[in-house]
């Protein structure tokens, strides 16, 4: 089976990108990153890609008159790079409906909460303010609505009473680096399908499962 060709969208430091790069570095891994695309020049994620000898592209969103025009350019660059499946890794732009439809069921995102709870921005302060006892992160297929779509993998972490937003964010990020590669492997092995807007893992005995609960 040919390796699945992945494109990764970034806007910043690219720590989740690095987790995906490390996962794909194994020779027999069933996916390869063929393009890293940023909407901002000079971010650390581009350096990470260059170090791994992965092609990069930058499309400056400020040069476009509309979100749709920017997204159209992104799609053309992704397709020209041979991308078959897109992973968002800290990409700080809302996507237009045409882009989402063009990559329907071939576009995933990771969000730092247990969706459908706490969609949007400023997640960790809101979680602490609400007194939630648990948080986590979610990998999901992208749909036009914000932070919506079939859930592939989640990880759960506790919220401690003395947590600050930064401390909680760091605890969640550790699990993001676990479940994003997990989701990539499931997708690359063609073990995930969408049925009635639910993500179904084809092999229920697969050891990763779809929810992990770290001990701390």
Final residue belonging to a domain, choices 86, 103, 120: 103
Output the pTM of the full model: 0.93
Picking from 51, 73, 103, the residue at the C-terminal end of a domain is 103
| pLDDT one-digit tens code per residue, 1-39 | 799 999 999 999 999 999 999 999 999 999 999 999 999
One domain, residues 97 and 178: no
Pair 114, 214 in one domain: yes
Which residue's structure tokens are 């092609």? 55
Q: Could you tell me if 139 and 120 lie in one domain?
A: yes
Catalytic annotation, residues: 111
Where on the phi/psi map is residue 196: left (φ > 0), alpha (ψ -120 to 50), or beta?
left
Name the percent of the chain lying above pLDDT 70.
Answer: 94
Residue 207 has pLDDT above 90, yes or no: no
How far apart (Å, rounded) are the C-alpha atoms in residues 33 and 1? 16
Residues 115 and 178 in one domain: yes
Tokens matching residue 31: 């996916």
Q: Are residues 25 and 118 in the same domain?
A: no
Q: Which of 58, 87, 103 is the last residue of a domain?
A: 103
pLDDT of residue 84: 98
Could you tell me the residue range of the domain that residue 81 belongs to?
1-103
CATH of the domain at 5: 3.40.50.170
Residues 68 and 134 reside in one and the same domain: no
Position 1 scores a pLDDT of 78
Q: Is residue 212 pLDDT above 70, yes or no? A: no
In a shared domain, residues 71 and 6: yes
Q: Are residues 84 and 145 in the same domain?
A: no
Indicate the pairing of strand 31-38 with strand 56-58.
parallel
| CB distance 188 to 30 below 8 Å | yes
Domain count for the chain = 2
């Amino acid at each position: 089976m040919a390796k699945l060709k992945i494109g990764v969208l970034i806007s910043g430091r690219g720590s989740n990108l690095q987790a995906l790069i490390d996962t794909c570095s194994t020779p027999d891994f069933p996916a390869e990153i063929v393009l890293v695309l940023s909407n901002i020049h000079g971010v650390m994620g581009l350096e990470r890609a260059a170090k791994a000898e992965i092609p990069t592209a930058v499309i400056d969103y400020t040069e476009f008159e509309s979100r749709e025009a920017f997204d159209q350019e992104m799609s053309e660059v992704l397709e020209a790079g041979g991308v078959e499946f897109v992973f968002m890794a800290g990409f700080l732009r809302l996507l237009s409906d045409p882009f989402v439809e063009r990559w329907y069921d071939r576009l995933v995102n990771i969000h730092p909460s247990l969706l459908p709870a706490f969609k949007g921005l400023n997640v960790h302060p809101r979680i602490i303010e609400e007194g939630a006892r648990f948080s986590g992160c979610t990998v999901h297929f992208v749909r036009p609505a914000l932070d919506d779509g079939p859930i592939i993998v989640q990880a759960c972490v506790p919220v401690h009473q003395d947590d600050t937003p930064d401390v909680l964010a760091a605890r969640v990020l550790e699990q993001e680096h676990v479940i994003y590669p997990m989701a990539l492997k499931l997708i690359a092995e063609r073990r995930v399908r969408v049925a009635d807007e639910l993500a179904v893992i084809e092999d229920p005995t697969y050891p990763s499962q779809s929810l992990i609960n770290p001990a701390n």
